[in-house]
């Protein structure tokens, strides 16, 4: 095996594993450790992992023959496109003023059928959301910078939970285990 290829691949995997915990945390939908591991394994299997930091190229872009081809998404048929266009013209959902980008149903609302109104939140729901945002400081207070109260005055609000990262030893152990079990095959050059 080429020493350079092994070093580059090992470096990419170690970097991905060590950065994975930071990228895996999403405040709106936290992921479990197993989900993160599964995503990383899939990224390694498909080559969807950055291996060249300068250009941002992924492994499947640099070495396309080593990874499975991405599935091709089928386009729409001519009839489907014609039907969509006819529906857009009927409802006025087509841009007619290029300068403003306004659609026909926005410029001439009387000529087109009214869009159904989506049920909104109740007054109580809005008040509860506002009270929670004020309590947690999740409300914009500086219009210039767009910063929220909990960013400007972090001591006044409860701290958000922080994802715990991995140590270097944990990443090395996981990498060795992945190679040992075959979850991450070593790539050889001919």
How confident is the model at residue 12, as a pLDDT? Answer: 53
How confident is the model at residue 56, as a pLDDT? Answer: 84
Q: Quote the mean pLDDT of the chain.
A: 80
Of residues 2 and 179, which shows the higher confidence score?
Answer: 179
How confident is the model at residue 160, as a pLDDT? Answer: 72
Give Cα separations from 51 to 48, 85, 145, 157 (angstroms). Answer: 9, 43, 35, 40
What are the boundaries of each domain within the chain?
3-70+167-181, 74-118, 121-152
Measure CA 2 to chain center: 34
Categorize the per-residue pLDDT at 86 as very low, low, confident or very high, splitting at 50, 70 and 90. very high
Element (H, E) at 83: helix 78-91
DSSP of 126-182: HHHHHHHHHHHT-SEEETTTTEEHHHH-GGGSPPPP------HHHHHHHHHHHHHHT
Categorize the per-residue pLDDT at 84 as very low, low, confident or very high, splitting at 50, 70 and 90. very high
114 has a pLDDT exceeding 70? yes
Kindly report the number of other CB atoms within 10 A of residue 134's CB atom. Answer: 12
Q: Give residue for tokens 């001519």.
A: 78
How confident is the model at residue 189, as a pLDDT? Answer: 52
Q: Give residue for tokens 């930071």.
A: 22
How confident is the model at residue 88, as a pLDDT? Answer: 92
Would you call 103 helix, strand, or coil by DSSP?
strand
What is the reported pTM?
0.31
Picking from 80, 103, 76, the residue whose alpha carbon sits closest to that of residue 91 is 103
Q: Give residue for tokens 């936290």.
A: 30
How confident is the model at residue 6, as a pLDDT? Answer: 45
Share of the chain above pLDDT 70, in %: 80
What is the C-alpha separation between 74 and 129, in angstroms, rounded?
A: 42
At 119-159, the pLDDT tens digits run 888 999 999 999 999 998 899 988 888 889 888 888 888 87
At 152-184, the pLDDT tens digits run 888 888 877 667 788 888 888 888 888 888 777
What is the C-alpha separation between 134 and 33, in angstroms, rounded?
A: 32
Judge contact between 161 and 168, C-beta under 8 A: no
What is the C-alpha separation between 165 and 173, in angstroms, rounded?
A: 15
How confident is the model at residue 24, as a pLDDT? Answer: 45
Judge contact between 31 and 23, C-beta under 8 A: no
At 14-37, the pLDDT tens digits run 555 555 444 444 455 688 888 999
């Amino acid at each position: 095996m080429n020493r350079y290829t092994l070093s580059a691949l090992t470096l990419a995997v170690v970097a991905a594993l060590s950065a994975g915990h930071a990228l895996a945390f999403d405040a709106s939908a936290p992921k479990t450790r197993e989900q993160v591991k599964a995503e990383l394994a899939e990224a390694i299997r498909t080559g969807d992992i950055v291996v060249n930091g300068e250009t941002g190229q992924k492994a499947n872009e640099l070495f396309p023959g080593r990874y499975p081809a991405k599935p091709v998404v089928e386009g729409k048929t001519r009839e489907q496109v014609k039907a969509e266009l006819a529906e857009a013209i009927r409802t006025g959902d087509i841009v007619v003023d290029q300068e403003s980008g306004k659609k026909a149903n926005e410029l001439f609302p009387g000529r087109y059928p009214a869009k159904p109104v989506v049920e909104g939140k109740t007054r109580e729901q809005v008040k509860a959301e506002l009270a929670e945002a004020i309590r947690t400081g999740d409300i914009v207070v500086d219009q210039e910078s767009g910063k929220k109260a909990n960013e400007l005055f972090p001591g006044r609000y409860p701290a958000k939970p922080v994802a715990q990262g991995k140590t270097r030893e944990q990443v090395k152990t996981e990498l060795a285990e992945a190679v040992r079990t075959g979850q991450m095959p070593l790539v050889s050059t001919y």
